[in-house]
């Protein structure tokens, strides 16, 4: 999942776990966190491009800052700066939205909000 995020934006762990990797992959910073109590193999979240502020083996709490969005993501597959957030079990990719609480996901249908400074259509 690609999330719009400017370089320098804090990146937070979505759930409690242990940092299983913090380093460069193909020239981009990556942080992976194995989530506590999620079975075998454990669920693992990935974040990239990230300038890590944690090291391998660090225990993290939900919402703890694990780094910042790195500018190395510019020119990637996103149209603008972004953070790629992934979820895996073993080598199988899953939908990371499964980690979010239902109240956040079931807030009703999406709504389009007015753009400031743009008059509504006649």
Residue 82 has pLDDT above 70, yes or no: yes
Mean pLDDT of the chain: 86
- pTM of the model as a whole: 0.80
Q: Give the tens place of pLDDT for each residue, 19-48.
A: 999 999 988 899 999 999 999 999 999 999
Q: Mind listing the pLDDT tens digit for each residue in 86-116?
A: 999 999 999 898 888 777 676 666 666 666 6
Neighbours of 9 (CB within 10 A): 16
The encoded tokens of residue 75 equal 């020119």
Burial class, 3, CB count within 10 angstroms (exposed 0-12 / middle 13-18 / buried 19+): middle
């Amino acid at each position: 999942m690609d999330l719009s995020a400017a370089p320098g934006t804090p990146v937070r762990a979505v759930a409690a776990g242990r940092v299983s990797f913090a380093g460069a992959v193909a020239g981009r910073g990556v942080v992976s966190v194995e989530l506590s109590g999620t079975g075998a193999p454990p669920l693992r979240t990935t974040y990239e491009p990230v300038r890590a502020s944690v090291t391998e083996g660090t225990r993290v709490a939900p919402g703890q800052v694990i780094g910042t969005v790195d500018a190395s993501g510019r020119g990637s597959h996103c149209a603008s700066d972004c953070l790629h957030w992934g979820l895996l079990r073993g080598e199988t990719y899953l939908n990371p939205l499964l980690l979010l609480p239902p109240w956040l996901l079931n807030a009703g249908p999406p709504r389009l909000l007015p753009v400031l400074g743009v008059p509504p259509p006649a």
